[in-house]
Homo-oligomer: A and B are copies of this chain.
Amino acid sequence: MEHRTYPEFSTHYPLLLTTFMKRPVNLYPDQIGVVYRNHVSGEYARFTWLQWYRRTSQLAHALVNKLGIKAGTPGQPGDRVGTMALNTHRHLELYYAVPCIGATLHPINVRLSHEHVIYTIRHAQDKVIFVDDTVMPLLEAIYDQIKDVVQMVVYMSDKPGLPQTRIQNIVTYESLLADQADVYDWPYLHEDTNATLCYTTGTTGQPKGATFTHRQLYLMTLHVMAMQSVSNTPNYDAEGAPGVRLGENAVPMLNTPMFHIHGWGAPFTCVFNAQKIVLPGTFTVQGFCELVEREKVTAVGVVPTVAAMLLEYKDFDKYDLSSLVRVGVGGGALPLGLKSKLEKMLPNFRVSSGYGMTETAPSTIASFVKKHMVDWSKEQLDEVMVKTGLPILGLEIDVVDEHGKSVPHDDQSVGEIVIRGPWVTEQYFKAPERTAEVWYGGWFHTGDIAKVDAEGYIVIADRLKDVIRSGAEMVPTVLLENLISMADFVLEAMVVGVPDPVWGEKPLALVSVRPGYQGNEEDVIAFLTTHGVDTGKITRWMLPKLVAITQDIPKTSVGKYNKKAVREQLEKFLAIAKDVSHHHE
């Protein structure tokens, strides 16, 4: 008898995305797994898990046989496959077929500048690019600068055929799949095989390519699920809404672009959870409302500015959005005012917040009610839920001063967030110098600053570079933004530092007003005085010295406040700003 052992099927059983992909088709082959709504035509496509799995298997065959995509090994990424795509069933097929054959998925952020899109494709050396019809004009525009790298373009559309194009070596996605076998013998890859390559938005210099292995994405997903399993349901939910767990019957809508940090992990979690996945193409207010009503969506993740767009939508009341029970807000701080406004309009709605970045895949910090808080009142819990949150279990997260020493948990001292754990990127692709700028002393340095309270809750204070240094003091702009946004008349608020000959910097607040409401610069300061200074949340010297009422608060490609853009157009904003510094006296 042979005395071999099987570590590959036991102690070293590989943690692969393949395991996620197989679960729903094994459990629920004939149930609808993926629903896609074309945001231009409004047409729907619906797939059972078996149909989706077979298409993904066909895609795998096509990648290997027709496109010649090669698998990688640990430390040696396979061929890179770029996607220029929105949230569609095809993108979800690519999310699994590419990594599960051992190649590297590179979801290209199509909202970056042309220069940066070109840079990421050339830097990644994408062998093939899969492009959505609606993104085709972008690819056309940059094609001359990437055609020496990209050997083939695959055109993805709900309509048959190819468009008029000067791009050579182009085929349609559906013709690529058409004659492929729909069963694929997925390999047991090594878990350290690279799976994805995600570039940062490049707010400082060129984008950096964070790399992730199968093991990393598997472990992120599993820890996020484990975190959900220990979540403590507050008692108040028993009256208002859902303390019950929805489990696999949750219906998530993938609202965050899948080209943006793995769509916040939803393409992994939701598939492994075997939940019906609703894909909206790209976010539109109408599409959002229609999909929630029609597909009974229960959970969405949004950035604060998208939440603000919902509040503005005139037909909002025409839809039945009562199925929505969980809304995660990330990609920026969650203003308490925005939270309470949304909850007023949607009674079943419970918002939560979180934090992550490209280099952390991204899940790192999330809203969490501690076990002794379940009996707290809704008002007390709201204060907890708008804090950035607690570390996801399995991660080590610290907030440290400039000497690497943990700051006191006093809800005041600020320091830099540092992280280590199973799913933090090990290195940027082909950029050891830039890796060394963030990974030193055994920690990944986020460049974000935060404070910690006595309960361990972390609250993001600001980007290091966004802190306003006014005299010897640091003005916490996010706190100001949150306070201002609580005013009824305010839709959004952004605070930035502008040069000041005396103080070095002074705070400028840009404030947009809700339609139908009145409010001027003095009202902003009056509100801050009453609800901030008088309540002890801020000191008088933190009050903005300048306020500009404007409906044009600049946003980044992913909907975050773009403070860099404000600084670049500072003259414009200063021209409409009113000096309110007399309030400091």
Contacts and interface: CB of A to CB of B under 8 A. Distances in A.
B371 A1 contact: no
A433 interface: yes
Interface string A208-249: 000001011001001101101111110001100001111111
Contacts of A4: 436
Given A10-B422, A11-B213, A422-B10, A3 B432 contact: yes
Nearest to A31: B372
A394 interface: yes
Interface string A513-554: 000000000000000000000000000000000000000000
Contact of A444 (B10, B31, B456): B10
Interface string A449-460: 000000010000
A273 interface: yes
Contacts of A425: 10
A244 B238 contact: yes
A245 B248 contact: no
A544 B248 CA distance: 42
A390 B27 CA distance: 9
A393 interface: yes
B274 A230 contact: yes
A185 to B, nearest CB: 14
Interface in A1-37: 1-7, 9-13, 15, 19, 23, 26-28, 31
A443 interface: yes
Interface in A357-386: 370-372, 374
A421 B440 CA distance: 35
A435 interface: yes
A192 interface: yes
Given A243-B245, A436-B1, A436-B2, A9 B442 contact: yes
A28 B371 contact: yes
Contacts of A216: 10-11
A233 B245 contact: yes
Contact of A435 (B3, B222, B230, B249): B3
Contacts of A31: 371-372
A420 B249 contact: no
A247 B273 contact: no
Interface residues of A, number: 72
Nearest to A232: B247
A229 B226 contact: yes
Contacts of A233: 244-247
A371 B247 contact: yes
Nearest to A212: B11
Interface string A107-139: 000000000000000000000000000000000
A26 B12 CA distance: 30
A47 interface: no
A225 B233 CA distance: 16
B232 A229 contact: no
A4 B442 CA distance: 10
Given A371-B249, A372-B31, A427-B5, A225 B230 contact: yes
A105 interface: no
A424 interface: yes
Nearest to A26: B456
A95 interface: no
A272 interface: yes
Contacts of A3: 432-433, 435-436
A385 to B, nearest CB: 15
Contacts of A6: 420, 426, 439, 442, 444
Contacts of A390: 27
B10 A420 contact: yes
Nearest to A28: B371
A426 to B, nearest CB: 4
B232 A374 contact: no
A1 B444 CA distance: 15
Contacts of A13: 420-422, 424
A5 B426 contact: yes
A34 to B, nearest CB: 15
A23 B393 contact: yes
A426 B248 CA distance: 32
Contacts of A394: 19, 222
A147 to B, nearest CB: 33
19 contacts: A1-B436, A5-B435, A6-B426, A6-B444, A10-B421, A10-B425, A11-B216, A13-B420, A19-B393, A27-B370, A222-B222, A222-B226, A225-B229, A229-B229, A230-B248, A232-B245, A233-B247, A243-B244, A274-B371
Interface of A: 1-7, 9-13, 15, 19, 23, 26-28, 31, 192, 213, 215-216, 219, 222-223, 225-226, 228-233, 237-238, 243-249, 272-274, 370-372, 374, 390, 393-394, 420-427, 432-433, 435-437, 439-440, 442-444, 456
